Amino acid sequence: MRTLALFLTSIILASCDDGYVTGDAQGPPGAPATTELLSAQMEVVADGLIIPWGIEIIGENEYLLSERMGDVYHYRDGQMRSLEGIPESFTVEVAGLVYGGIMDVSLHPGFAENRLVYFAYVNPQGLMSVARFRLGDQHAEDLEVIFESDSFSIGSRIAWLDEDHFLVTQGVGGNPYPEPGPQDLSSDAGKIHRLHADGSVPADNPVFVGSTRPTSIWSYGHRDPQGLWVDPEDGTVYSHEHGPLGGDELNIIRKAGNYGWPIHSYGVNYNRTEVTRISQEEAERTTVLPIQFWGEGLNVAPSGLERLEGSLFPEWDGYFLIGSLPQERLIGYNAELDDTVILLDDLGRVRDVAQLPSGAVLLLIDTGSPRRTDSGRVVKLTPR
């Protein structure tokens, strides 16, 4: 296990901004942002969490919370309890931050009838996996691991396409990332996977060159996607991901799409050396370019993705809400208007966002380190 931890530490260190910036390379400026602070009342509805990662809404006063350190919590009517029966996970600490462990948690679309809950985590062997269970009376019942990848994940999100198909992201980071990696179709690293509800591979998944059958890989060339949202009207899949310096981006995910990492990015490495190895013309021809990217000036480092619809903040309906980790902000982005707005500042590390049935907004605040004296928490936003 120590050997595994040292190996993963070496990879993750390549993903961290250590503040040491040299060289002359600089990417394009990216999307500008205006500041139009949300007039919101903030209420802490749950706290005491250690590095929370995902939130999933069951009802107005009931939801599930995942915590990197190995717990899934059931919050109901002001009471929060850790579920029994969650399997052991693996974490590694690098530069004061914790990676691995339990990441996203998601309800099956038929949860009201089947009580099925899915979560992505790094298992004790250091491999990103997906498990599911039935939510009982504070127990994870009938738990089974339905998918195991061949590599680690810095961040994983789950989103449902329909009752029998879901997507799960597998982030790798890297500045640069050691090969093989996201461009290697024999590796699960840096991919978005599409699976049946039971974890099996759908027959209509892509068959890539060099293979004779479909695999779990739906798209590739991803660096670290930590936001995933499916439009309930037309099924369009949106995903944002951490880029290198000045290269955070929002993508529309397409079947068999190559999203470029690490051969193309609008950002640069943290030492200001070039990332891109191909021309813009070749990138346009061979990769799927982002619909938006945010440059070095904004430094989003995005996590969590939710588009407001029918919210208590009607002026922001149609905007994606995006957490910003290092800037401790809530960002709004409207794809139709091509408008990026800083909505709230000084929040703490916003790890995930969700909208309640009432239209109120929940923010999951991640402390980043188990040694921080302030705890992770859930903050509810309502109009002033």
> What is the pLDDT at residue 302?
97
Structure tokens at 15: 């993903």
> What is the pLDDT at residue 17?
42
The closest of 167, 210, 159, 161 to 187, measured between CA atoms, is: 210
Give the list of residues 6+ apart from residue 263 with CB closer than 8 angstroms, or none.
183, 221, 276, 277, 278, 287
> What is the pLDDT at residue 18?
35
> What is the pLDDT at residue 154?
92
Give the list of residues 6+ apart from residue 93 with CB closer than 8 angstroms, or none.
99, 369, 370
**How far is the C-alpha of 54 from the C-alpha of 64, rounded, in Å?**
8
Instruction: Point out the residues of the chain with pLDDT beneath 50.
Output: 6-7, 17-23
Q: Are strands 225-230 and 237-241 parallel, antiparallel or unpaired?
A: antiparallel
| Prior bond of 357 cis (ω within 30°) | no
Q: Where are the domains of the chain?
A: 2-16+64-305
CATH T-level topology, domain 2-16+64-305: Neuraminidase (2.120.10)
- Asked whether the beta carbons of 274 and 247 are under 8 A apart, the reply is no
The closest of 75, 74, 194, 61 to 133, measured between CA atoms, is: 74
- For the chain, state the CA radius of gyration: 19
> What is the pLDDT at residue 117?
99
- Asked whether the beta carbons of 41 and 382 are under 8 A apart, the reply is yes
Task: Give the count of beta carbons closer than 10 Å to the beta carbon of residue 23.
Answer: 12
**How far is the C-alpha of 342 from the C-alpha of 338, rounded, in Å?**
14
* Residue 267, helix vs strand vs coil: coil
> What is the pLDDT at residue 20?
33
Q: Are strands 361-366 and 376-383 parallel, antiparallel or unpaired?
A: antiparallel
Dump the DSSP string for 88-100: P--EEEETTEEEE
- Asked whether the beta carbons of 15 and 173 are under 8 A apart, the reply is yes
> What is the pLDDT at residue 248?
97
